[in-house]
Structures are given as C-alpha cells and as structure tokens.
Amino acid sequence: MDLSVDDLAGRVRALYELASPCRLCPRACGADRMGGEPGVCGAGGAVEVAIHGPHFGEEPPLSGHAGSGTVFFSHCPVACVFCQNAEISHQGLGRGVSVDELAAVFLDLAPTHNLNLVTAGHFLPWVVDAQARAKNRGLDLPVVFNTGGYEARDTLRLLAGIVDVWLPDLKYLDPGRAKRYSRVEDYVPTALAALDEMVAQQGPLQVDRDGLARRGVLIRHLTLPWGADDTAAVLAWIAERYQGRVPVSLMAQYLPCHRADQYPELSGPVSAAEYQRAVDLMIRLGLEGFTQDPDAATADLIPDFIGGRMTRRAR
Ligand code: SF4
C-alpha cells in the first residue's frame, strides 16, 4: 500500500459515502448500507467474514512457502449458478465483525506473504478502514484484491495505491453466458472496463527475487464445460488487449456445484482433453501464466482451499 495516512483516511471517507445509497458495485442498488439495509448482494451495515487463514493453493507467486493470507467475505453481488463457495457467497455463511476485529484478523495474517481479500468489493469501506488501522499498527503486506471481475470502475479508482495485486476473474466474453450463468446482463463490458482500470493502475504482475507477487495484475479464467469457444475468445482478447504482457491463470477446478445441476450443459466436469486444448491455445497466443492440475477438481471445496491440495504450475 503506497498511500499516506491522510490520503488513506480520505479514501475511507469516500468509500463510506458510496455505501449509502450503495453504489459500491455495478448493481448500484441504492441500499442504505450505513443504516443497516441489506442490498441485492445480501450485505448490510456490518462487514462479515466467513474464513480467514494462510492459503497454500493459490498461484505460486501468491502462496509462496508461507501461504497467502486469505480473508473470505460473505455474500457476493454476482450470482453464479456454479459457485463453488455458495454457502459463503449466496447463503451468507460468516459472522459480522467490527472494523477493529477485522484489523486484528489482518494483523494475524502478517506471517503470510500477502493480504488476499476474496470478494471484498461490497464491504470496501469497512475493509479499507480496517486496512488503515492494521497499517497503523505495523502491517506491511502487499494487498491482493481477489474478485469475480464484476466491479465498478469508479470504486476501483478509489483503490489506486491501496491494492498492490489485482486478481480478477474474466469469466466470459459471451454476454448470453454471463446472463445465463451469473445473472448479470452487463458482466462483459463491466468486467472489461474494470480490467482496463486495474492494468492502468498496476500493469502486469511483478515478482520479487523470491518469486513473490509485489504488484500488478494476474487474470484468472475458469474453464467451463461446453465453454471452449468462450474460453478461446477470453484468451485471445487478453492476448490482444494487453499484448501478451498480463499473465493468465487458466483454472481447471470446475465442479458442478450449487445449482449447476439445473443446467444440463454444466452438470459434468471439463474433460482433461478440453482443458488441454485451452492450455495449448494459451501457449500459441504467447500468454504467460499458470495452469492447474485437472485432478484438483476432484477435491472437496472449502477443505481443499484450506488444505491447499490444488496444484498450479508455471509452464
Ligand atoms: S455492493 Fe451490494 S448493496 Fe452495494 S450496490 Fe452492490 S449489490 Fe447493492
């Protein structure tokens, strides 16, 4: 985090102002969050945390040897039918914490390599407030913003100098698939604008001499069954837009979770051959990044996240 204490305090005030009526995320549903009113995402007037701790299954520059200091926030503005964390994102698993308690959670993660904020966009005022308090008490970790990609550009601008590593998904380029599977009609233009903002702020991923992420952007894309054309479009767009400079994490961990069984095309896994075709395309396009062991998709979900059994490898 590059900002001075005074600048950070100004950003915190601006973010709280965005929370009532709430327009923190692109849904701009107008909920009176500071008055305790829950919005479309399910979040109300207190920050809620589901899980926190070191995570060893992120990409190598994030997990390193000491783990990525991950904090999973409850609720989500996007309603993916195949969500692997539906208990947290859609059923609101977690507990409300004060800003000081959240700062203490962040400080507990000091032995890890970074502070990895997972789906934090709908709690940003409280999160950045807690970051400021933790920073005042000596926390000095790179801040990772781990998001599904559906973020408001104006909100992201308030995070310049606060977020060090942007870790967004680019789930689709096909608006029809975004609407059908994530229930947002404007996912594609919104996510693309958000990506441009992230890249403008921090550029491609940069690592230190130990190979640990210090700043920049790493884009994640989860391969979906019957989604090869859209995956190809996503990879080609990233390669062309950022001239191969921004790395990609091509994920193989899809499982038919949550309500995926209501969609026949989503009811099975992505085949190893299908995933390999996407990897081959990534290489042909000259994209750097990370791939994932397709066997990871057989693991349990939340225990897998904690236990870090997923394996990603730099190609
Ligand atoms: S973050 Fe939640 S409450 Fe705020 S605009 Fe988005 S959906 Fe509404």
Report pLDDT digits (tens) over 189-243. 999 999 999 999 999 999 999 999 999 999 999 999 999 999 999 999 999 999 9
Q: What are 96-124's pLDDT values in tens digits? A: 999 999 999 999 999 999 999 999 999 99
Dist CA 208 CA 61 (whole Å): 9
Domains of the chain with bracketed CATH: 5-314 (3.20.20.70)
Placement of tokens 């441009």 in the chain: 196
Dist CA 128 CA 283 (whole Å): 37
**pLDDT for 307:** 29
Cα-to-centroid distance, 90 and ligand 1 (Å): 14
Quote the pTM value. Answer: 0.93
Q: What are 243-282's pLDDT values in tens digits? A: 989 999 999 989 889 889 999 999 988 999 999 999 999 9
Band of pLDDT at residue 297, cut at 50, 70 and 90: low
Q: What is the rounded (10 degree) CA torsion for 297, 298, 303, 309?
A: -70
Cα-to-centroid distance, 103 and ligand 1 (Å): 23
Q: Are 77 and 122 in contact (CB under 8 A)?
A: yes
Dist CA 71 CA 139 (whole Å): 15
Task: Give me 155's structure tokens.
Answer: 């909100």
Question: Looking at 127-136, 156-165, 302-311, which range is the least confident one?
Answer: 302-311
- For residue 41 and ligand 1, the question of a CB distance below 6 A is answered with yes
Name the DSSP letter for residue 149: S
**pLDDT for 49:** 97
- For residue 39 and ligand 1, the question of a CB distance below 6 A is answered with yes
Q: Are 35 and 20 in contact (CB under 8 A)?
A: yes
Cα-to-centroid distance, 42 and ligand 1 (Å): 8
Q: What are 2-61's pLDDT values in tens digits? A: 788 889 999 999 999 999 999 999 999 999 999 999 999 999 999 999 999 999 989 999
- For residue 75 and ligand 1, the question of a CB distance below 6 A is answered with no
Cβ–Cβ contacts within 10 Å for residue 160, how many?
Answer: 15
Residue nearest to atom 3 of ligand 1 (CA): 39
Cα-to-centroid distance, 24 and ligand 1 (Å): 6
